[in-house]
C-alpha cells in the first residue's frame, strides 16, 4: 500500500524531473544558451540554432511548459525570453557540471580550437583582470541586439560579420580581446583570426555575458 509520504515524494521528484525532461534535448539547451544573451523571436532563434521555425517553436513550447521561458506577442512576432535570472544561473551551472564531469567536453573543444590556433595563451583570470581594468580594447562580436540586451562594460559592438569593414576603427598598438556568447561560441574565434591576420595582438575571452553576471559583475545595457 502506498503511503501518503511515498506519494508526496513521488510527486515532488516527478516535478523535479519536468526540468530534466525539458533540457534533455541538445537543441533546447542551445536555445536556452541563446536566450541567455537576450530576448529573441522564434524566427531569430530558429536561424541561430539551425532549426526550422516549426521545430524551434516545438522546442520552445516544451521549455515554456516547464516554465523555463516566457513568451510575449510583439506585433506580428512572438518574442521569447528566459523566465527569470534563475534559469540563466541553472544553465551556467549545468554547463559547468558537464565541463567538470565529462572529459569529452574539453576534448571536443580543444580539437576544434587547436585546429584554428585559437587557444588563449593568457591565463583566464589575468585576461579578465585586464578587461575589467580597461587595459585592452574589448570587442563584443555578437549581433547588435544581443549587445543592446546586455554587454560587458566598455565593450565596443562590432559584429563579426562587420569586423573586416570596421577594422580601421580599432586603435593600433593596443591588445584586442574579443568575446561572444561564451566558451562554445565560435564568433570570437573567427574574430581573433581576422584580427591576427591584420597584425593585431588579439585574444579570445571565453567568458560571455552570462558568465560575467554569474560572478556578480555589472552588465551594461545600450539605451
Which residues are identified as catalytic? Answer: 180
Contact 200, 82 (CB under 8 A): no
Residue 134 backbone phi and psi in degrees, to 5: 75, 25
d(CA 80, CA 102): 30
d(CA 82, CA 66): 12
Q: Residue 71's CB: how many other CB atoms inside 10 A?
A: 17
d(CA 57, CA 214): 28
Beta strands in the chain (DSSP E): 40-41, 69-74, 77-82, 137-140, 156-157, 176-179, 202-204
Amino acid at each position: 500500500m502506498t503511503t501518503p509520504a511515498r506519494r508526496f515524494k513521488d510527486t515532488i521528484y516527478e516535478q523535479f524531473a519536468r526540468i530534466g525532461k525539458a533540457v534533455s534535448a541538445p537543441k533546447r539547451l542551445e536555445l536556452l544558451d541563446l536566450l541567455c544573451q537576450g530576448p529573441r523571436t522564434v524566427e531569430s532563434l530558429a536561424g541561430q540554432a539551425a532549426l526550422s521555425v516549426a521545430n524551434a517553436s516545438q522546442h520552445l513550447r516544451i521549455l515554456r511548459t516547464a516554465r523555463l521561458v516566457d513568451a510575449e506577442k510583439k506585433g506580428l512576432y512572438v518574442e521569447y525570453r528566459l523566465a527569470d535570472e534563475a534559469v540563466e544561473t541553472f544553465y551556467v551551472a549545468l554547463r559547468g557540471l558537464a565541463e567538470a564531469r565529462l572529459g569529452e567536453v574539453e576534448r571536443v573543444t580543444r580539437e576544434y580550437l587547436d585546429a584554428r590556433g585559437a587557444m588563449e595563451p593568457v591565463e583566464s583570470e589575468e585576461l579578465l583582470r585586464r578587461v575589467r581594468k580597461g587595459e585592452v580594447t574589448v570587442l563584443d562580436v555578437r549581433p547588435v541586439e544581443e549587445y543592446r540586451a546586455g554587454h560587458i562594460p566598455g565593450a565596443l559592438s562590432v559584429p563579426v560579420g562587420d569586423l573586416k569593414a570596421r577594422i580601421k576603427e580599432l586603435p593600433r598598438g593596443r591588445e584586442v580581446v574579443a568575446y561572444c556568447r561564451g566558451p562554445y561560441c565560435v564568433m570570437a574565434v573567427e574574430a581573433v583570426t581576422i584580427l591576427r591576420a591584420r597584425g593585431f595582438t588579439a585574444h579570445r575571452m571565453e567568458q560571455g555575458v552570462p558568465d560575467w553576471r554569474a560572478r556578480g559583475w555589472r552588465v551594461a545595457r545600450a539605451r
